[in-house]
Amino acid sequence: MVQHLYIRFIRMPLLFRILLVAGLNMFIFGAVIHAIEPNTFPTIFDGIWWALMTASTVGYGDYVPITLPGRITAIILLFAGAGFLSSYFVTLSAAAVNMQEEYYEGKTAYKGEGHLIIIGWNERSKKIARCFGEKKKPVVLIDESLDSHPHSKHGFHFIKGASHLDEILLKAGLSSACKVIITADQNLVEHQADKNTVLTLLAIKGINSDVHCIAEVLTKSQINNAFRAGADEIIQTNELAGSMFLNSLQHPGIAAPLQEVLNAFDGNELKMIPASDITGHKTFGQAHACMLSKGMLLIGIKKGDDVIVNPPVTADIGSKDILLVVV
């Protein structure tokens, strides 16, 4: 029985063990001083109060032992009890410092829910984090290359580690996350970066198959693999950049306006609205006028897998079509 209690005591956190021993010391010395000088210390609680004030070196002086045995008890208390209390406060301070260091080093697990997980720290991640920070939405970053917390904003949590490891994903709160964005590792060649993205997708969907995953894929050959691995949406960065290059070659000076158009979406939202929600409008022109009256800009139609941007005003809109609008 004694050995069992000792094992349980040893397995307790160090901070709790020191506090337990210090508290037991205060109780014992409080009871002893009450027994030695009952007139000076009328109750055991008065003795415990005196022991605590003495051991902590506060020494209010409201209770003072006057007999020789009482003063000897006080000397023993200072040698024994003060050490335990000092150890407690030192351990408490060290624990607080360690917790802060672990947080900045990306070793602390995230306890929230409904957050966005971003994998990879780069200019794209910074922009997403800044936008979500302005909206007061929680973000968890997973990155293996960083040594310390890269963002000082409130609501931004950093986890250091490889994104394809279950331990790291669980530490980032993947089970309760709402969305995951996987950015390509630009320190690797494109093909290898895409392989890492596919591996990360498999790990994510293995833990939480319902979470919405948006993956950045650099090469066309890995697009199908990314979808097979569970990607809900794919961003083809190289395709977007290539289109801008082509437009710049054909129309010199167009790059800056195109960039401004893309930047304009930072403060606005591109939404997809079912055409069935807009009753009585059978053509693109009629739906466009209706959207403008509601403060929204209709820019295209999604018909099945095909997206038509700025179709003719006479283009028909089917009941199963999706309207692309800027809010």
What's the rounded Cα separation, in Å, for the pair 215 and 234? 5
Dihedral, CA of residue 85, residue 86, residue 90 and residue 92, to nearest 10: 10
Which 3 state secondary structure label does DSSP give 180?
strand
Higher pLDDT, 265 or 44: 44
Give pLDDT, residue 85: 66
Residue ranges of domains in the chain:
2-104, 116-241, 268-327
Helices 44-55, 14-36: inter-axial angle, 10-degree rounding: 120
What's the rounded Cα separation, in Å, for the pair 269 and 210? 24
- Tally helices (H) and strands (E) across the chain: 11, 10
Beta-bridged to residue 142, according to DSSP, are 119, 159
Global model pTM greater than 0.85: no
The model's confidence at residue 301, banded by pLDDT at 50, 70 and 90, is: confident
Which 3 state secondary structure label does DSSP give 63?
coil
Q: Which residue shows structure tokens 């089917």?
A: 318
Give pLDDT, residue 11: 66
Give pLDDT, residue 277: 75
Q: Determine whether 15 is exposed, middle or buried from the number of CB atoms within 10 Å of its CB (0-12, 13-18, 19+).
A: middle
User: For residue 281, what are the contacts with CB-CB under 8 A and spacing of at least 6?
Assistant: 287, 290, 317
| DSSP 8-state symbol, 162 | -
Q: Which CATH class is domain 268-327?
A: alpha beta
Which CATH number applies to 116-241? 3.40.50.720
Same fold: 116-241 with 268-327: no
Ordered DSSP codes for 263-287:
HHTTSS-EEEEEGGGSTT--BHHHH
Name the pairing type of β-strands 139-143 and 116-119.
parallel
301 vs 59, 226, 240, 288, CA distance in Å?
79, 26, 20, 11
What's the rounded Cα separation, in Å, for the pair 44 and 258? 80
Ordered DSSP codes for 89-127:
HHHHHHHHHHHHHHHHTT-SPP---S-EEEES-SHHHHH
146 vs 149, 150, 195, CA distance in Å?
8, 8, 21
Tell me which architecture the domain covering 2-104 has in CATH. Orthogonal Bundle (1.10)
DSSP H helical ranges for 123-236? 123-134, 166-171, 190-207, 223-229
Average pLDDT (292-319) is 82
Please say if the pLDDT value at position 303 is more than 70: yes
Backbone dihedral angles phi then psi of residue 246, each to the nearest 5 degrees: -65, -45
Per-residue pLDDT of 222-277, as tens digits, reads 999 999 999 999 999 888 778 778 878 888 887 777 677 666 666 557 778 887 77
The model's confidence at residue 326, banded by pLDDT at 50, 70 and 90, is: confident
Give pLDDT, residue 6: 56
**H-helix or E-strand spanning residue 212:** strand 212-217
